[in-house]
Amino acid sequence: MGDAAEASVSDVTEIRKKNPDIPTVTRQPFELSEELATGVEKLELQSHLDQIRDHGYTVVPNIASEEFNASLRETCIRLTQETEGPAKGRSAALLLGRDPIFEEVVLNPKIMALVEVMCGQGALLSQLIASVRPNGAPELHLHADQNWTPAPFPVHNQLFTMCWAMDEFTQEGGCTKVVPDSHVNARHPSKEEVAAQEGAIPLECAASSICCWNGSIWHGNYPRQIEGDRVVLHITFSRLALRTVENYDHLDEAWLKDKPYELRVMLGREDFLGSTTIARGSADYAAIPNTFTWAKT
Protein backbone atom coordinates (compact mmCIF):
# COMPACT_ATOMS: atom_id res chain seq x y z
CA MET A 1 0.00 0.00 0.00
CA GLY A 2 1.29 3.49 -0.84
CA ASP A 3 2.03 6.08 1.81
CA ALA A 4 -1.08 8.12 1.04
CA ALA A 5 -3.32 5.08 1.35
CA GLU A 6 -1.87 4.23 4.75
CA ALA A 7 -2.28 7.76 6.05
CA SER A 8 -4.82 8.45 8.73
CA VAL A 9 -6.70 11.71 9.08
CA SER A 10 -4.01 12.99 11.44
CA ASP A 11 -1.36 12.52 8.76
CA VAL A 12 -2.69 15.31 6.55
CA THR A 13 0.30 17.48 7.44
CA GLU A 14 2.57 14.65 6.29
CA ILE A 15 0.63 14.32 3.04
CA ARG A 16 0.99 18.04 2.44
CA LYS A 17 4.74 17.87 3.06
CA LYS A 18 5.11 15.09 0.51
CA ASN A 19 2.81 16.83 -1.99
CA PRO A 20 3.83 20.48 -1.92
CA ASP A 21 1.73 21.17 -5.00
CA ILE A 22 -1.58 20.71 -3.13
CA PRO A 23 -2.84 24.30 -3.00
CA THR A 24 -3.83 25.96 0.23
CA VAL A 25 -5.75 28.70 -1.55
CA THR A 26 -9.02 28.01 -3.40
CA ARG A 27 -9.32 29.22 -6.97
CA GLN A 28 -12.26 31.61 -7.19
CA PRO A 29 -15.12 31.31 -9.72
CA PHE A 30 -14.01 31.97 -13.31
CA GLU A 31 -10.39 32.27 -12.20
CA LEU A 32 -8.82 29.78 -14.60
CA SER A 33 -5.51 27.93 -14.40
CA GLU A 34 -3.14 28.72 -17.24
CA GLU A 35 -3.81 25.34 -18.82
CA LEU A 36 -7.57 25.71 -18.63
CA ALA A 37 -7.40 29.28 -19.96
CA THR A 38 -5.42 28.06 -22.96
CA GLY A 39 -8.02 25.35 -23.63
CA VAL A 40 -10.88 27.82 -23.28
CA GLU A 41 -9.24 30.16 -25.76
CA LYS A 42 -8.52 27.38 -28.26
CA LEU A 43 -12.10 26.14 -28.01
CA GLU A 44 -13.47 29.69 -28.35
CA LEU A 45 -15.45 29.42 -25.13
CA GLN A 46 -14.49 32.69 -23.42
CA SER A 47 -17.54 34.68 -24.54
CA HIS A 48 -19.78 31.79 -23.42
CA LEU A 49 -18.14 31.74 -20.00
CA ASP A 50 -18.55 35.50 -19.74
CA GLN A 51 -22.25 35.05 -20.46
CA ILE A 52 -22.62 32.33 -17.82
CA ARG A 53 -20.75 34.49 -15.28
CA ASP A 54 -22.80 37.61 -16.04
CA HIS A 55 -26.21 36.20 -16.99
CA GLY A 56 -26.15 32.62 -15.72
CA TYR A 57 -26.57 30.79 -19.01
CA THR A 58 -25.24 30.41 -22.55
CA VAL A 59 -25.90 28.51 -25.78
CA VAL A 60 -22.93 26.88 -27.51
CA PRO A 61 -23.77 26.12 -31.16
CA ASN A 62 -22.24 23.39 -33.34
CA ILE A 63 -21.24 21.18 -30.46
CA ALA A 64 -20.83 18.26 -32.90
CA SER A 65 -21.31 17.44 -36.57
CA GLU A 66 -24.76 17.03 -38.10
CA GLU A 67 -24.07 13.30 -38.51
CA PHE A 68 -23.08 12.91 -34.86
CA ASN A 69 -26.15 14.83 -33.74
CA ALA A 70 -28.42 12.63 -35.91
CA SER A 71 -26.79 9.46 -34.61
CA LEU A 72 -27.12 10.67 -31.00
CA ARG A 73 -30.80 11.44 -31.58
CA GLU A 74 -31.44 7.99 -33.03
CA THR A 75 -29.58 6.31 -30.14
CA CYS A 76 -31.52 8.26 -27.50
CA ILE A 77 -34.85 7.41 -29.13
CA ARG A 78 -33.89 3.73 -29.39
CA LEU A 79 -32.93 3.58 -25.73
CA THR A 80 -36.18 5.19 -24.58
CA GLN A 81 -37.82 2.00 -25.86
CA GLU A 82 -35.87 0.03 -23.21
CA THR A 83 -37.54 2.07 -20.47
CA GLU A 84 -40.50 0.28 -18.89
CA GLY A 85 -43.71 1.83 -17.63
CA PRO A 86 -45.05 5.35 -18.21
CA ALA A 87 -41.71 6.84 -19.34
CA LYS A 88 -41.23 4.27 -22.14
CA GLY A 89 -40.54 6.18 -25.36
CA ARG A 90 -40.23 9.42 -23.39
CA SER A 91 -37.12 9.00 -21.31
CA ALA A 92 -33.88 7.00 -21.17
CA ALA A 93 -31.59 7.24 -18.16
CA LEU A 94 -28.23 6.02 -16.85
CA LEU A 95 -26.95 6.41 -20.39
CA LEU A 96 -23.17 6.17 -19.93
CA GLY A 97 -22.18 2.62 -20.80
CA ARG A 98 -25.35 1.86 -22.74
CA ASP A 99 -23.86 2.99 -26.05
CA PRO A 100 -20.32 4.17 -26.83
CA ILE A 101 -21.68 7.42 -28.27
CA PHE A 102 -22.27 8.72 -24.73
CA GLU A 103 -18.56 8.45 -23.94
CA GLU A 104 -17.94 10.77 -26.88
CA VAL A 105 -20.54 13.16 -25.50
CA VAL A 106 -19.09 13.48 -22.00
CA LEU A 107 -15.53 13.56 -23.37
CA ASN A 108 -16.35 16.31 -25.86
CA PRO A 109 -13.55 18.86 -25.31
CA LYS A 110 -15.91 21.83 -25.10
CA ILE A 111 -18.14 20.04 -22.61
CA MET A 112 -15.16 18.98 -20.49
CA ALA A 113 -13.74 22.50 -20.43
CA LEU A 114 -17.08 24.05 -19.47
CA VAL A 115 -17.51 21.47 -16.72
CA GLU A 116 -14.09 22.19 -15.26
CA VAL A 117 -14.78 25.92 -15.15
CA MET A 118 -18.23 25.46 -13.62
CA CYS A 119 -17.64 22.53 -11.23
CA GLY A 120 -13.86 22.29 -10.84
CA GLN A 121 -11.50 19.41 -11.50
CA GLY A 122 -12.75 16.01 -10.39
CA ALA A 123 -16.34 16.99 -11.18
CA LEU A 124 -18.77 14.06 -11.20
CA LEU A 125 -21.24 13.04 -13.87
CA SER A 126 -24.48 13.47 -11.94
CA GLN A 127 -27.04 12.68 -14.61
CA LEU A 128 -27.09 11.68 -18.29
CA ILE A 129 -30.69 11.31 -19.34
CA ALA A 130 -32.54 11.74 -22.65
CA SER A 131 -36.03 13.17 -22.92
CA VAL A 132 -38.47 12.98 -25.83
CA ARG A 133 -41.26 15.55 -25.75
CA PRO A 134 -44.12 15.12 -28.22
CA ASN A 135 -46.69 17.68 -29.38
CA GLY A 136 -48.81 18.55 -26.32
CA ALA A 137 -46.06 18.03 -23.75
CA PRO A 138 -46.80 20.41 -20.86
CA GLU A 139 -44.41 23.09 -19.63
CA LEU A 140 -41.79 22.44 -16.99
CA HIS A 141 -42.00 25.00 -14.18
CA LEU A 142 -39.18 27.31 -13.19
CA HIS A 143 -36.61 25.89 -10.80
CA ALA A 144 -32.90 26.11 -10.00
CA ASP A 145 -31.04 22.85 -10.61
CA GLN A 146 -29.25 23.18 -7.24
CA ASN A 147 -32.48 21.92 -5.78
CA TRP A 148 -30.73 19.96 -3.07
CA THR A 149 -28.43 22.82 -2.08
CA PRO A 150 -29.72 25.14 0.64
CA ALA A 151 -29.97 28.89 -0.05
CA PRO A 152 -28.17 31.22 -0.04
CA PHE A 153 -26.31 29.31 -2.74
CA PRO A 154 -22.56 29.17 -2.25
CA VAL A 155 -20.29 31.45 -4.27
CA HIS A 156 -18.89 28.38 -5.99
CA ASN A 157 -21.29 26.84 -8.47
CA GLN A 158 -22.39 23.37 -7.34
CA LEU A 159 -24.13 21.88 -10.36
CA PHE A 160 -23.83 22.52 -14.09
CA THR A 161 -26.41 21.44 -16.65
CA MET A 162 -26.10 21.24 -20.41
CA CYS A 163 -29.12 20.41 -22.54
CA TRP A 164 -28.02 19.06 -25.91
CA ALA A 165 -30.77 20.07 -28.34
CA MET A 166 -30.93 17.40 -31.02
CA ASP A 167 -33.75 19.31 -32.72
CA GLU A 168 -34.14 22.99 -33.42
CA PHE A 169 -35.21 24.85 -30.28
CA THR A 170 -38.16 27.24 -30.72
CA GLN A 171 -40.66 28.55 -28.22
CA GLU A 172 -43.62 26.79 -29.87
CA GLY A 173 -41.47 23.66 -30.12
CA GLY A 174 -41.17 23.67 -26.32
CA CYS A 175 -37.61 24.89 -25.89
CA THR A 176 -35.97 25.68 -22.59
CA LYS A 177 -36.78 29.00 -20.91
CA VAL A 178 -34.44 30.89 -18.62
CA VAL A 179 -34.70 33.98 -16.46
CA PRO A 180 -31.43 35.76 -17.32
CA ASP A 181 -29.52 37.07 -14.29
CA SER A 182 -31.73 35.18 -11.83
CA HIS A 183 -28.61 33.44 -10.49
CA VAL A 184 -27.72 36.60 -8.58
CA ASN A 185 -30.65 35.87 -6.24
CA ALA A 186 -28.68 32.83 -5.05
CA ARG A 187 -31.88 31.08 -3.97
CA HIS A 188 -34.77 28.97 -5.20
CA PRO A 189 -37.68 30.83 -6.84
CA SER A 190 -40.74 31.29 -4.62
CA LYS A 191 -44.16 29.86 -5.61
CA GLU A 192 -45.20 33.35 -6.72
CA GLU A 193 -42.06 33.79 -8.82
CA VAL A 194 -42.60 30.39 -10.43
CA ALA A 195 -46.15 31.38 -11.35
CA ALA A 196 -45.23 34.86 -12.63
CA GLN A 197 -42.23 33.72 -14.74
CA GLU A 198 -41.20 37.34 -14.89
CA GLY A 199 -38.32 37.96 -17.29
CA ALA A 200 -38.33 34.42 -18.74
CA ILE A 201 -37.05 34.14 -22.31
CA PRO A 202 -36.92 31.20 -24.76
CA LEU A 203 -33.53 29.70 -25.58
CA GLU A 204 -34.05 29.38 -29.33
CA CYS A 205 -31.20 27.71 -31.18
CA ALA A 206 -30.28 25.33 -33.99
CA ALA A 207 -30.09 21.57 -33.53
CA SER A 208 -26.73 20.34 -32.21
CA SER A 209 -26.36 23.22 -29.76
CA ILE A 210 -25.93 22.88 -26.02
CA CYS A 211 -27.93 25.18 -23.78
CA CYS A 212 -25.97 25.55 -20.54
CA TRP A 213 -26.71 27.13 -17.19
CA ASN A 214 -25.31 27.29 -13.73
CA GLY A 215 -27.04 25.61 -10.81
CA SER A 216 -28.61 28.85 -9.61
CA ILE A 217 -30.39 30.07 -12.74
CA TRP A 218 -34.18 29.86 -12.79
CA HIS A 219 -35.29 27.89 -15.82
CA GLY A 220 -37.93 25.50 -17.15
CA ASN A 221 -39.41 24.89 -20.58
CA TYR A 222 -42.39 25.82 -22.77
CA PRO A 223 -45.20 23.44 -23.70
CA ARG A 224 -44.64 21.79 -27.08
CA GLN A 225 -47.24 22.92 -29.59
CA ILE A 226 -45.91 21.57 -32.89
CA GLU A 227 -45.80 18.14 -34.51
CA GLY A 228 -42.83 15.84 -34.01
CA ASP A 229 -40.64 15.17 -31.00
CA ARG A 230 -38.18 17.40 -29.16
CA VAL A 231 -35.24 15.15 -28.26
CA VAL A 232 -32.81 16.44 -25.65
CA LEU A 233 -29.88 14.94 -23.81
CA HIS A 234 -29.65 16.42 -20.30
CA ILE A 235 -26.06 16.35 -19.05
CA THR A 236 -25.44 17.38 -15.45
CA PHE A 237 -22.17 17.49 -13.53
CA SER A 238 -21.61 18.32 -9.88
CA ARG A 239 -18.66 19.24 -7.70
CA LEU A 240 -17.04 16.35 -5.88
CA ALA A 241 -17.40 18.13 -2.54
CA LEU A 242 -20.26 16.27 -0.90
CA ARG A 243 -19.54 12.78 -2.17
CA THR A 244 -19.29 10.55 0.89
CA VAL A 245 -15.91 9.30 2.10
CA GLU A 246 -17.27 5.79 2.68
CA ASN A 247 -19.45 3.89 0.25
CA TYR A 248 -22.16 1.72 1.81
CA ASP A 249 -23.70 0.36 -1.39
CA HIS A 250 -22.92 -3.16 -0.13
CA LEU A 251 -25.46 -2.72 2.68
CA ASP A 252 -28.36 -3.86 0.55
CA GLU A 253 -32.10 -4.09 1.10
CA ALA A 254 -31.65 -7.49 2.77
CA TRP A 255 -29.34 -5.92 5.39
CA LEU A 256 -31.69 -2.99 5.85
CA LYS A 257 -34.74 -5.18 6.37
CA ASP A 258 -36.27 -4.45 9.80
CA LYS A 259 -33.66 -1.76 10.52
CA PRO A 260 -34.77 1.71 11.70
CA TYR A 261 -35.85 4.22 9.06
CA GLU A 262 -33.11 6.60 10.26
CA LEU A 263 -30.46 4.15 9.00
CA ARG A 264 -32.07 4.19 5.57
CA VAL A 265 -32.03 7.99 5.61
CA MET A 266 -28.34 8.26 6.57
CA LEU A 267 -27.43 5.84 3.81
CA GLY A 268 -29.29 7.98 1.29
CA ARG A 269 -31.94 5.35 0.58
CA GLU A 270 -34.86 7.71 1.22
CA ASP A 271 -33.80 10.61 -1.02
CA PHE A 272 -33.86 10.65 -4.80
CA LEU A 273 -30.10 10.89 -5.36
CA GLY A 274 -28.68 7.70 -6.79
CA SER A 275 -32.15 6.23 -7.31
CA THR A 276 -32.18 6.18 -11.13
CA THR A 277 -32.85 2.84 -12.80
CA ILE A 278 -32.80 2.00 -16.50
CA ALA A 279 -36.24 0.41 -16.21
CA ARG A 280 -37.84 3.50 -14.67
CA GLY A 281 -35.99 5.80 -17.07
CA SER A 282 -35.41 8.39 -14.37
CA ALA A 283 -34.65 8.89 -10.71
CA ASP A 284 -37.36 7.97 -8.20
CA TYR A 285 -39.42 11.14 -8.30
CA ALA A 286 -41.50 9.87 -5.36
CA ALA A 287 -38.45 10.66 -3.22
CA ILE A 288 -38.16 14.25 -4.46
CA PRO A 289 -40.37 15.80 -1.72
CA ASN A 290 -38.09 14.33 0.98
CA THR A 291 -34.96 15.42 -0.85
CA PHE A 292 -35.96 18.99 -1.61
CA THR A 293 -37.47 19.47 1.84
CA TRP A 294 -34.52 18.07 3.79
CA ALA A 295 -32.10 20.10 1.63
CA LYS A 296 -33.72 23.28 2.88
CA THR A 297 -33.27 22.49 6.57
Ligand X SMILES: O=C(O)CCC(=O)C(=O)O
| Positions in 127-146 near ligand X (CB under 6 A) | 140, 145
Binding map of Fe ion across residues 13-52, x = CB under 5 A, - = no contact: ----------------------------------------
Burial (CB count <10 Å: 0-12, 13-18, 19+), residue 151: middle
- Residue 159 zone, left/alpha/beta (φ > 0; ψ -120 to 50; rest): beta
Comparison of 69 and 216: residue with beta carbon closer to Fe ion: 216
Instruction: Kindly compute the dihedral angle of the four CA atoms of residues 242, 245, 251, 252, in this order, to the nearest 10 degrees.
Output: 30
Of the pair 57, 102, the CB lying nearest Fe ion is at: 57
Identify whether the C-beta of residue 186 lies closer than 8 Å to the C-beta of residue 210.
Answer: no
The residue from 48, 188, 219, 224 that contacts ligand X (CB under 6 A) is 219
Among ligand X, Fe ion, none, partner that 221 touches (CB below 5 to 8 angstroms by kind): ligand X
Separation of alpha carbons 221 and 203, rounded Å: 9
Task: Compute how many residues bind Fe ion; rule: CB under 5 A.
Answer: 1
Q: How many residues bind ligand X (CB under 6 A)?
A: 9
Query: Does residue 212 belong to the site contacting ligand X (CB under 6 A)?
Result: no
* Interacting residues with Fe ion between 95 and 154 (CB under 5 A): 145
Give start and end residues of each alpha helix (H) in 120-269.
Answer: 191-196, 253-256, 261-266
Amino acid identity for residue 210 in this structure: I
176 binds ligand X (CB under 6 A): yes
Q: Does the protein bind Fe ion through residue 271 (CB under 5 A)? A: no
The one of ligand X, Fe ion, none whose footprint includes residue 188, by CB under 5 to 8 A per kind, is none
- Residues 114, 163, 210, 283: which binds ligand X (CB under 6 A)? 163
SS3 12: helix
The helix/strand/coil state of 54 is helix
First to last CA, the chain: 41
Binding residues for ligand X (CB under 6 A): 140, 145, 161, 163, 176, 219, 221, 232, 234
Binding residues for Fe ion (CB under 5 A): 145
